[in-house]
Amino acid sequence: MVQAVPARPKKKQQARRPTPVDPALRARARAILRRLVPAYPDWGPTLEFSNPFELLVATILAAQAQDERINEVTRTLFRKYRTPADYASAPKGVLERDIKATGFFNMKAKALRAMSAGLLERFGGEVPGDMESLVGLHGVGRKTASIVLGAAFGVPAVAVDRHVARVADRLGLSRADPRGIEESLRALYPKKDWIKATWCFVLHGRRICRPTPMCPVCPVNDLCPYPKKTKALPAPRTPRSRPRRAASGRSG
């Protein structure tokens, strides 16, 4: 009779220790935030909402769109669609038409229906207030979940959109992927400042640290190691005038 060989006990995986943060980098990061806060006294969510579900919907719609346009759409949308059931049961073509102005409306309508169905099936129609549950919903990534957690629930979170990523990279605070940027900023700032840092970076990226940065008027120019700083403000864009076409018609 062949005796079974007892299985070796699995070794416990040790938790990865976080990389120590350079004290000089942390000090510079916090000095940057101290200047950005008074530079953007209106820091905070730029999407209009009255409850966590509305913010979740608006944030999904805001992908590849300006917040101003989303607010124009949701002022009407939120009067028609009030609960997850309203989105989940919206007839094909109707929801798409109602959000068409946000762009990519077919994909966004699909995401809203699936996200709403998930809320109904798993959470009784209520938006959960934790990261793990939120990212388990269709169409909800860490950025969207972090925005909802911070703005709707007051839970400290760092949301990394394209503006935060650009600003963090140019300031030399992180050169990783979005998840790495999130971890870097969480390590550089105390938890109580995560939401504040997120929105100050968002507004700084929208208004000053644009793809073509406005370095001469940047409030943290001397704290920024970006090697391609602009020496002058970019010229304002002027609308192109279309050449007039000669009037056509028969003379009689």
Which residues are part of the catalytic machinery?
Answer: 143, 161
Region class of 64: left (phi > 0), else alpha (psi between -120 and 50), else beta: left
- How big, in percent rounded to 5, are the helix, strand and coil portions of the chain? 55, 0, 45
Q: Do 213 and 230 touch, CB atoms closer than 8 A?
A: yes
Measured at the CA of 205, the angle between CA 200 and CA 206, to 5 degrees, comes to 100
- The amino acid present at 245, given as its one-letter code, is R
Question: How many Cα neighbours within 13 Å face the side chain of 43?
Answer: 23
CA angle 46, 216, 159 (to 5 degrees): 30
